Structure formats: C-alpha cells, structure tokens
Amino acid sequence: MNKLVIAAFAAAIAATTVSTAFADDFHRHDEWHKGARIGHDDWARGRPVDWRAHHLRRPPHGYEWREVDGNWVLAAAATGLIASAIAASH
C-alpha cells in the first residue's frame, strides 16, 4: 500500500513539473497579426505545423504554418509577412 501511495505522489509531482514547464512554452505575442512581420529569430526557432492535422487552412504558395511559443503563425517563409496568427490561450 505504501508503495502505491509513494508511486501516486511521485507521479503527481512529475505531472506538475511537466505541466509547469509546458506552460512556460506559451507566450502571447500581440504584435503578431495579419500584415505584421515575425522576426527571423522567432521564425527560425518555430516548429513547422502540419496544417491538415490541426484543421488549419492550406498555406498559400511560399507560406507555412509555424508554432512559436505556443502560437500558430502563418507567414511567408522568405519575408516573415504574417497572413494569420492564432494566439496562445494561456
């Protein structure tokens, strides 16, 4: 019984640590809106997003979806011109 309680406690601590670390990955960027530009450094550290899997609209030619700080940004890969941005809800 003690082993079960200890295991549950350890799992709760691990889950709290993971969720706190995950929450730190979210940051609203209110400056990212249609017509603005996303900086090269922000764009470069973003991860490509599978738009089909997330039910996002198909990116126009030369554009791609990226996840940056928990936000989804559709921007021109060459210039950083933002066509759409979905802000993190945290």
Coil/strand/helix, residue 33? coil
Q: Is the model's pLDDT at 7 over the cut of 70?
A: no
Bigger pLDDT: 15 or 33?
Answer: 33
Indicate if the alpha-carbon torsion angle 66, 21, 26, 44 is positive or negative: negative
Tens of pLDDT along 28-84?
A: 787 899 999 999 999 999 999 999 999 999 999 999 999 999 999 999 999 999 999
Q: What Cα–Cα distance (Å) separates residue 13 from each residue in 2, 5, 9, 16, 34?
A: 17, 12, 6, 5, 40
Q: Is the pLDDT reported for residue 20 higher than 50? A: no
Task: Give residue-wise pLDDT tens across range 22-35.
Answer: 444 557 787 899 99
Domains of the chain: 28-86 (3.10.450.160)
Contact 28, 87 (CB under 8 A): yes
Give the SS3 label for residue 72: strand
Q: What angle do CA 10, 15, 16 make, to 5 degrees?
A: 100
pLDDT: which is higher, 16 or 34: 34
pLDDT for position 23? 42
- Integer angstrom CA distances of residue 55 from 12, 40, 50, 88: 32, 26, 9, 16
For residue 21, name the pLDDT band (cuts at 50, 70, 90).
Answer: very low
